[in-house]
Amino acid sequence: MIPPAPVGTPAAPDSDRCDVRHADPTRLAARRASLLPADAVVSLAETFKLLGDATRVRILDALSHGELCVCEIAALVDLSESAVSHQLRLLRGLRLVRPRRAGRLAYYTLDDQHIMSLFQQGLRHVQEPGNVESTS
């Protein structure tokens, strides 16, 4: 075990602690005023939580290429229509996808351009050199 650094010395580069207190209350108050409101934090966290499931990401990937009905999505992602419907219900609840009725069929698409941008930004991030890519 590494002993703690003496008081007044900077923390090691890999440490996540502040061993030297230097917080400026004025600067922190200004920064605090610019933080997201609590309801936005919760909504954003719920969105990312929903996106943290591989099945839902596969569904969004399929829909990123255009509108599909439930049976087409099920065939593309190799799931039952019931399982796809369940996932779509969750995605619809956070306005990530939206349905369009055509008689007895429901066609789904990404809710808006923001969802497409979020999906594309995340994809670009994971495809950057140095990031681990999964093999499928």
Rounded to the nearest angstrom, the gap between the alpha carbon of residue 33 and the centroid of all alpha carbons in its chain is 24
Q: Residue 118's pLDDT is what?
A: 87
Residue pair 81/71 in contact by the 8 Å Cβ criterion = yes
Can you tell me which residue has the tokens 């703690």? 4
Q: Which fold has domain 40-124?
A: Arc Repressor Mutant, subunit A (1.10.10)
Residue pair 94/110 in contact by the 8 Å Cβ criterion = no
Average pLDDT along the chain, 136 residues, taken 10 residues at a time: 52 68 87 94 92 95 95 97 97 95 94 88 90 59
Q: Residue 80's pLDDT is what?
A: 97
Q: Residue 17's pLDDT is what?
A: 80
Q: Residue 112's pLDDT is what?
A: 86
Domain boundaries, the chain: 40-124
pTM (two decimals):
0.74
Q: Residue 14's pLDDT is what?
A: 63
Give the C-alpha separation, 99 to 69, whole Å.
9
